[in-house]
Amino acid sequence: MKWDNHRLTQLVSAARGKQPVDLLIRNCQLVNVLSGRIEKVDIAIYDGFVAGWGDYKANRYLDAEGKYLSPGFIDGHIHIESTLLSPSHFCAAVLPWGTTSVVADPHEIANALGRAGVRYFLQATDGIPLDVFFNLPSCVPATPLETSGAQLRASDLLELCPHPRILGLAEMMNFPGVIEALPEVMDKLSLFQDMVLDGHAPLLHGLELNAYLSTGIASDHECTSLEEAVEKLSKGAYLMLRNGSQSKDVAKLLPAVNEHTWPQCMFVSDDRHPDDLLREGHMNAIINQAMMLGMEPIRAISLATWTPARYFRLKRHGALAPGK
């Protein structure tokens, strides 16, 4: 999203009530993930952004009749290829369930087509009504034993980095290479030091976990035990609680989420097969499961909205508040 002086000025003017907003949604119950409360408000929209809530004149009015208004859900780690859908059809499948943003790892298509596959995803997700961000694949091919269609070195990734929807480096699966400080792995980690560095470190603990996290890798979605999750949280890693079509870890890991750790936690799907999307939905299914397991509802929604937005530095996403 590009901003200039004129656009910001118009948003400020609308937020102050100096000009009509585009839409005023009246009588809605706002799920405020910032305050942790349900608040009955009239919320104003201008130029696709929340101008604020209050007494606004609008070009269009909508009566929510007491319905809940929630921030759109964010999936912080998914392989769109696992859905077996094109990006536009993936959008059509998840948007009705409340997902409005995803952070995708195009590992599989890159494994087959290299940079051309990543460019296809960037092009195919441009302009669709779903915000699709990407972390670049860290391990193409996944192992030296694999027969792949491409190989991506740090220099190949550097060419793609300037795109505004690329946030960082996707799950660093080669954790032995990180621990051994292999030059080709260090090249990639060095390149993304000022961006997001996602992890993939199943069962790693102790001194080896220290070494892995010392590189700036800041998350992990491969925890399968409560003990593992607690150690990684205590050492500063963001915990991605995964529930997809294959790996289902939320029930085991949910006790790691408490009053101290929740800002460091988020829900992800990793993969979601098309029949599951059709029957159960997407992030909504994970949120519902967490609530059924006893998590307070606004906290559960926060783990699919506010916490991933903060981790991925998406400052205008994750909550319904002025300018978001």
Closest by alpha carbon to 283, among 124, 64, 71, 6? 71
CA distance linking residue 77 with residue 6, whole number of Å: 35
Cα 256 to chain centroid distance, Å, stands at: 20
Q: Please give the model's pTM, rounded to 2 decimal places.
A: 0.96
Domain 5-69 architecture = Roll (2.30)
Interacting residues of 10 by C-beta distance below 8 A, sequence separation 6+: 19, 46, 47
Q: Which two tokens stand for residue 239?
A: 């915990």
Q: Which two tokens stand for residue 107?
A: 């590992």
Domain ranges of the chain: 5-69, 73-311
Residues 68 and 320 sit within 8 Å (Cβ to Cβ)? no
Judge: domain 73-311, CATH 3.30.420.40.
Answer: no
Interacting residues of 164 by C-beta distance below 8 A, sequence separation 6+: none
Question: In terms of C-beta distances under 8 Å and separation of at least 24 residues, what long-range contacts does 27-31 make, across chains too?
Answer: 27/63, 27/64, 27/65, 27/66, 28/64, 28/66, 28/67, 28/68, 28/69, 29/64, 29/66, 29/67, 29/68, 29/69, 30/68, 30/69, 30/320, 31/68, 31/69, 31/70, 31/71, 31/298, 31/301, 31/320
Interacting residues of 128 by C-beta distance below 8 A, sequence separation 6+: 87, 88, 91
Beta strand pairing call for 37-46 and 49-53: antiparallel
Beta bridge partners of 136: 169
Residues 138 and 188 sit within 8 Å (Cβ to Cβ)? yes
The answer for 84, left when phi > 0, alpha when psi is -120 to 50, beta otherwise, is left
Distances (CA, A) of 24 to 9, 54, 107, 142, 163: 20, 9, 41, 49, 34
Beta bridge partners of 62: 25
What is the chain's pLDDT, residue by residue, as a tens digit (324 residues)?
678 899 999 999 999 999 999 999 999 999 999 999 999 999 999 999 999 999 999 999 999 999 999 999 999 999 999 999 999 999 999 999 999 999 999 999 999 999 999 999 999 999 999 999 999 999 998 877 777 788 999 999 999 999 999 999 999 999 999 999 999 999 999 999 999 999 999 999 999 999 999 999 999 999 999 999 999 999 999 999 999 988 899 999 999 999 999 999 999 999 999 999 999 999 999 999 999 999 999 999 999 999 999 999 999 999 999 999
**Equal fold, 5-69 vs 73-311:** no
Residues 196 and 312 sit within 8 Å (Cβ to Cβ)? yes
